[in-house]
Structure 1
Amino acid sequence: MMLVTPASLFLPSTTHMKKKICFLLAFTVINGFVSGQTTKAALFIDSFTKQHSFNGTILLAKKGKASHKKSFGMAHFQMKVPNTPDTRYKIASITKAFTAVLILQLYEQGKIDLNKPIRTYLPGYKGEGADKVTIAQLLNMTSGIWNMDEGVTLESALKSGMPAYQLPHTSDEMLTLFCSGKLKSEPGKVWDYNNANYMILGKVIEQVAGKTFEQQLQTMILQPLEMKHTGIAYQQTMIAGLASTYFYRDDIQTLVNDLPVYTENWYASGAMYATADDLLRFTRALFERKLLKQATLDLMFTPGAGEYGYGVLVYKAYDIHQKHYTIVKRPGSIMGAQTMLFHVLEEDATILILSNASTVSLDEFAAAIAERFID
């Protein structure tokens, strides 16, 4: 089994994402193209997916241009609909990278001060952190706000459900019910991955921009970049080409549908869907400074506690010759929706992995691909 170990050169030194409800599964291959310089990585991907159970689409790019793209498995198992490079996937917490960019665009416009507290922009916010938690602390996950997903596991979800996500709530209701509680720790002192931080940021964007989060997303990112296959997933909306999501239940040892949820409840922290090509458009624009100025990117990509910057993980890696690399990474994980945006700054190299089933550790898979792609 050719699975990279945690000692991989391209893995961070610590584990970050709290995978609340993510599991395991399987299957096949469809449609791809390979350039000479990515053959090594492409062969590894094919070998890996034959031995393991990856289901989704993988795209490799250098200097903003795709050099390899291939899809595996099924977008819909019951109907035997295969994944293709045009399949739309729920991208889970990659959404947070978009939210961080929208906040930083407002910062560049002088409309947001990152060091001001929540109440500056949300006067009606009732949480204990209203006058204590800054926008920057929301961005880098050091707000100290009580974690809205604390204690959520597969076992608890199967027994008691997930009230935050399985009942219909507006974004205002999500803010009031799940993001406005007491502080668990002093702001700025403790890193804790918390969806509530980015839900609050979504409401800040709406208040400052005078538009809904979705409208601001369309106006400032999706439309300018012609990301026509990207948006917010809603429970009531039938989205053409959107892959169904699945997870493997160890207790009954079988593949099952994801638990029923209102995807829009994840809001600015995880409600988006996209294709691999659209995500490459976003990645290219971000790293080519078309969305933010270099000075602002430097803020975004400065790692703090937990090796977390603003909406992304940032850490250093070294090859066997001690060559230095900076990894900017944005994983996503909501049940069967497993995603990875992995970028090597010095090489301007991008690895995008979009999956609709919890098949493998995407942290380790992306690192293993990077070791062969960065050569």
Structure 2
Amino acid sequence: MNNKFNTKYFIFFIILFVSCLSFGQNKNSFEKKIDSLIESKTTKPFNGIILISQNGKVKYSKIVGYSDLEKKTPLQINNQFVIGSISKQITAVLVLQEYEKGHLKLNEPIHTYLPELTQKWTDTVTIHHLLTHMHGIVALDKPTAFKVGSQFNYSYSNTGYDLLSKITERTSGKSFAMQSKELFQKCGMKNTFHPDDKEYKNLVKGYSEQENGELFFEENSFRNAPAAGSFVSNATDLNIWNQNLQAGKLLKPAAFKIMTSKQEGAIRQHPLSGITHYGYGITIDTKDKMTQLGQTGFAPGFVSMNFYFPETKTSLIILENIVYEPNDLKKTFFYHSEILKIVRQKLKETNANSANTDNSKKIK
């Protein structure tokens, strides 16, 4: 009897160990792979912050390089970056919160909310189309590039998300900056701001590589619409964001499911990852029997990545303030893509080990 009892709990603790420490047994190997990548001698070194967490707890972090290249000021964990299109999931949450309150309908034409727009497509384009980049809008004063809802935009659209921010201003009666501020306060994100909110104190300088190989300081990294690509944040706050969003603290289950589901037709040939499926404000990858939710971000002088793996509750956050070869995104996102491969491989091994442990339990 005692032997059966001990065996049962021995198996239980093995399962618990594997599930809670996905980076456990080969942690040193996992760290060394990333360290070797970012510490290799090259003319284009990594300059940024990497944070990997599980269940909200940091499993790996690395800070390399400078917040100010001219002054050689070392980066710090509380430094803030312009997060590019990672901003879109924040906007999507604000839209869906308005939807949950009954202030807007996802499939209603946007003319209902923005009657001042005069183009005929305002009677056809819906909030859903804006959220999924399937509207075809190329400019506010021009016809759509294709039949609304028939395909993903030829070029990734920031205009749609700017319109979404204007819609939530109408439905909420608050500025988009105020809506954002209240959301960040609710999450406990003390280092994340709408760019019009000048409270950010630790924004690093962003640099872009010129054709001659020299780096120049981007004096205006806020050229994209805030709702589409200009929020300011840091690695710690993005980790907090992931925990709040995934734990159901920001959206009810029905709205969260809509946001994180592959939307019909919202498929893009992505320059980094190939065929890519979109939900609302995020990409959704289910390859290798593993769900990956999140987004990359690009702004003048800044390259970012924020992905979440719900099966293991793992966050991967990478923020960099040097844009190498801005005309070749594969090279621009080199470090991000390689680190993502390392993390995915580790999680695949973890999932396989967990499956083997479960099978062993069943056989026993």
* TM bin (shorter chain): 0.7 to 0.9
- Using the alignment, how far apart are the partners of 1:280 and 1:144 within structure 2? 33
Instruction: Give the C-alpha shift of residue 277 in structure 1.
Output: 0.7
Matching of residues 145-156 of structure 1 within 5 Å = 145-146=137-138
- Using the alignment, how far apart are the partners of 1:309 and 1:182 within structure 2? 25
Provide TM-score, normalisation by structure 1: 0.76
Matching of residues 250-289 of structure 1 within 5 Å = 251-258=211-218, 260-261=219-220, 263=222, 265-289=224-248
Please give the root-mean-square deviation of Cα atoms over the aligned residues, in Å. Answer: 1.9
User: Which amino acid in the other structure matches residue 81 of structure 2?
Assistant: Y
Pick the aligned partner of 1:212 from 169, 175, 196. Answer: 175
- Using the alignment, how far apart are the partners of 1:316 and 1:334 within structure 2? 27
Change (3 A) 1:60 1:90: same
- Using the alignment, how far apart are the partners of 1:278 and 1:348 within structure 2? 16
- Using the alignment, how far apart are the partners of 1:352 and 1:179 within structure 2? 34
Aligned residues: 301
Question: Is the CA contact 1:62–1:347 (under 8 Å) kept in the aligned structure 2?
Answer: yes
Matching of residues 91-110 of structure 1 within 5 Å = 91-110=83-102
Larger Rg belongs to: 2
Confirm whether residue 336 of structure 1 aligns to residue 301 of structure 2. Answer: yes
Pick the aligned partner of 2:254 from 261, 271, 295. Answer: 295
Instruction: Give the C-alpha shift of residue 335 in structure 1.
Output: 2.8
Provide TM-score, normalisation by structure 2: 0.78
Q: Deviations over 1:185-219 (max 9, x none)?
A: 11111102200010000101101010010101112
Which deviates further from its counterpart, 131-140 or 49-58?
Answer: 49-58
- Using the alignment, how far apart are the partners of 2:206 and 2:347 within structure 1? 28
Question: Is the CA contact 1:179–1:200 (under 8 Å) kept in the aligned structure 2?
Answer: no
- 3-state secondary structure, aligned to 1:223: helix
Ranges in structure 1 where 5+ consecutive residues have no aligned partner = 1-34, 147-177, 319-323
Question: Is the CA contact 1:232–1:264 (under 8 Å) kept in the aligned structure 2?
Answer: no
Ranges in structure 2 where 5+ consecutive residues have no aligned partner = 1-22, 268-276, 325-332, 351-364
- 3-state secondary structure, aligned to 2:317: strand
Change (3 A) 1:369 1:247: farther
Change (3 A) 1:59 1:85: same
Question: Is the CA contact 1:44–1:369 (under 8 Å) kept in the aligned structure 2?
Answer: no
Confirm whether residue 198 of structure 1 aligns to residue 161 of structure 2. Answer: yes
Which deviates further from its counterpart, 297-306 or 261-270?
Answer: 261-270
Instruction: Give the C-alpha shift of residue 282 in structure 1.
Output: 0.7
Pick the aligned partner of 2:284 from 307, 314, 327. Answer: 314
Matching of residues 1-375 of structure 1 within 5 Å = 36=24, 38-51=27-40, 53-146=45-138, 178-192=139-153, 193-219=156-182, 221-234=183-196, 237=198, 239-249=200-210, 251-258=211-218, 260-261=219-220, 263=222, 265-304=224-263, 305-306=266-267, 307-318=277-288, 324-359=289-324, 360-361=333-334, 362-373=336-347, 375=350
Instruction: Give the C-alpha shift of residue 42 in structure 1.
Output: 2.2
User: Which amino acid in the other structure matches residue 140 of structure 1?
Assistant: T
Instruction: Give the C-alpha shift of residue 370 in structure 1.
Output: 2.8
Instruction: Give the C-alpha shift of residue 237 in structure 1.
Output: 4.8
Instruction: Give the C-alpha shift of residue 93 in structure 1.
Output: 1.0
- Using the alignment, how far apart are the partners of 1:226 and 1:145 within structure 2? 35
